[in-house]
Amino acid sequence: MLEIVRMGMERRDQIAEIWADAFEQDPLMKWVFPDDAARFSSLARWWGFAIDRQPPGSELHGTRIDGCVAYWQPPQGQENSSTGSEEADRGESEGQKAFVAMMTDLLGDLAPSRMEALGQMHQARLAEPHWYLAVLGTSVAQQSKGLGSKVLAPMLDRCDRVGELAYLESSNPANVGFYRRHGFESIGEFTLGDGVLITPMVREPRPPGQR
């Protein structure tokens, strides 16, 4: 039986490589990191950075051995509940500086345009409190086996049980149908970069028996 588990920092490098493999041909990531030869290593570093700087309360859910991991960030306001605002602001500022330094190292002169586009995506995020599916990635060799559905299930069950929204942005039109099957609905579209289509999607909690 496939087991879905909570993952911690001891799996950091493995998770980063799973996501790098999963997103190497993603339209947004191909635009952000246009060098085909360097994209995998750039993505592994990018995702490692994201894992290192998870907001408090974030959760990583994955298959123990099969190469699929989801990264959920908690509803806004919960992530800093255990820290003072000055400490949180200081951490965010330090994180932004580190992100700029990493992107400049990876992309050189392309970094400002890529960071500006990613900032637009962040600004467009749903205003209502929600669990944010920041990443769902399955290694290429393990795709089309139903792993993504199984990895999503624990958080979607929780959202239904406690009546919370879930939200994501799909950067690949091929994945929109998959998310619709799990109750997410498009709330619009916008483009980034050289016409990369982004589809924000929200999922209302479902009453028992309607999953």
Q: Which of 196, 144, 151 is nearest to 171 (CA)?
A: 196
With a cut of 50, say whether residue 157 has pLDDT above it: yes
Helix (H, G, I), strand (E, B) or coil at 39: helix
Question: pLDDT of 64-96, one tens digit each?
Answer: 778 999 999 999 865 444 445 555 555 568 889
Answer yes or no: is 184 within a domain: no
Can you tell me the distance from the alpha carbon of 70 to that of 152, in angstroms, rounded to the nearest whole number?
7
CATH number at residue 18: 3.40.630.30
Answer yes or no: is 198 within a domain: no
Helix (H) or strand (E) holding 94: helix 85-107
Can you tell me the distance from the alpha carbon of 191 to that of 109, in angstroms, rounded to the nearest whole number?
21
Answer yes or no: is 150 within a domain: yes
Answer yes or no: is 186 within a domain: no
Answer yes or no: is 169 within a domain: no
Per the structure, the count of domains in the chain is: 1
Query: How many CA atoms, within 13 angstroms, populate the side-chain half-sphere of residue 7?
Result: 26
Answer yes or no: is 27 within a domain: yes
**Torsion angle defined by CA atoms of residues 58, 105, 117 and 98, in that order, rounded to the nearest 10 degrees:** 40
Question: pLDDT of 28-50, one tens digit each?
Answer: 999 999 999 999 999 999 999 99
Answer yes or no: is 119 within a domain: yes
- The whole domain housing 108 covers 4-163
